[in-house]
């Protein structure tokens, strides 16, 4: 396995890049998807959330109602800390397990992690880290105009993230998504070539 950590701020374009890499043959492990999977009915993390925040966070079918959970934690740092403490370890364990299932295969695995930090690099043994970056104003514009997100909500989410500078510091390669979608597609084609160069160099090193 060659492990690629992929990150970027909200609306930066990382899902678009991840999907293009999958088209090239990469396997995607997406932290956002894992975060949804670990709170499916019957999973321990959901029971822990109900214990902490009450049954009001469930919908009529007993599934997590994200809007109610967001309302229960909004503007409350302690509640947010509790939410993270109850979910992040389960997300980490699940991603480590998915990694372990692929580790002996001759594949490129892309781990999409929105809030990538140094400890994720160590936990998931990324061979390289790629960060998709674009000016904050542009990310905001795309979230509001392309995805139809509420502007205030988008601004609040962007403000809660680490800065662009902090994020790009972790990167071995930065994909600049300040152009149009065609430009991003071309940059992702070069990114895939670069990933495979890194992978070949890595394989040569491993073989000695």
From the list 87, 113, 114, 192, which residue makes contact with ligand ATP (rule: CB under 6 A)? 114
Using CB under 6 A as the criterion, what x/- string covers residues 11-30 for binding ligand ATP? xxxxxx--------------
Q: Which is nearer to ligand ATP, 5 or 114 (CB)?
A: 114
Kindly tell me which of 24 and 202 has the beta carbon lying closer to ligand ATP.
24
Token representation of residue 144: 């509001």
Report d(CA 64, CA 46) in Å as an integer.
7
Determine if 146 is a binding residue for ligand ATP (CB under 6 A). Answer: yes
Site membership for ligand ATP, residue 177 (CB under 6 A): yes
Report DSSP letters for 38-75, one per residue: TTSTT-HHHHHHHHHH-GGGB-TTS-B-HHHHHHHHTT
If one counts every other C-beta atom within 10 angstroms of the C-beta of residue 54, the result is 11
- Ramachandran region of residue 10, left (φ > 0), alpha (ψ -120 to 50) or beta? beta
Toward ligand ATP, which CB reaches closer, 5 or 11? 11
Q: How far is the CB of 57 from ligand ATP (least distance, A)?
A: 22
Query: In 3D, which of 203, 208, 176, 207 has the Cα closest to residue 1?
Result: 203
Which residue in 147, 151, 156, 169 binds ligand ATP (CB under 6 A)?
147
Q: Is 167 exposed, middle or buried (0-12, 13-18, 19+ CB in 10 A)?
A: buried
104 contacts ligand ATP (rule: CB under 6 A): no
- Judged by the rule CB under 6 A, the positions of this chain that interact with ligand ATP are 8, 10-16, 114, 142, 146-147, 177, 179-181, 184
């Amino acid at each position: 396995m060659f492990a690629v950590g992929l990150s970027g701020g909200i609306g930066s374009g990382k899902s678009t890049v991840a999907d293009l890499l999958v088209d090239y043959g990469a396997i995607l492990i997406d932290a956002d998807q894992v975060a949804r999977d670990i709170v499916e009915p019957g999973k321990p993390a959901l029971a822990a959330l109900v214990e902490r925040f009450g049954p009001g966070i469930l919908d009529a079918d007993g599934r997590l109602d994200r809007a109610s959970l967001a309302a229960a934690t909004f503007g409350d740092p302690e509640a947010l800390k509790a939410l993270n403490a109850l979910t992040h370890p389960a997300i980490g364990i699940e991603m480590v397990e998915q990694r372990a299932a692929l580790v002996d295969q001759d594949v490129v695995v892309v781990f999409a992690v929105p809030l990538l930090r140094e400890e994720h690099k160590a936990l998931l043994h990324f061979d390289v880290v790629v960060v998709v970056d674009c000016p904050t104003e542009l990310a905001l514009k795309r979230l509001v105009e392309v995805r139809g997100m509420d502007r205030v909500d988008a601004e609040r989410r962007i403000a809660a993230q680490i800065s662009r500078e902090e994020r790009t510091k972790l990167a071995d390669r930065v994909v600049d998504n300040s152009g149009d979608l065609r430009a991003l597609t071309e940059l992702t084609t070069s990114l895939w070539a670069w990933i495979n160069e890194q992978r070949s160099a890595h394989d040569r090193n491993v073989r000695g």
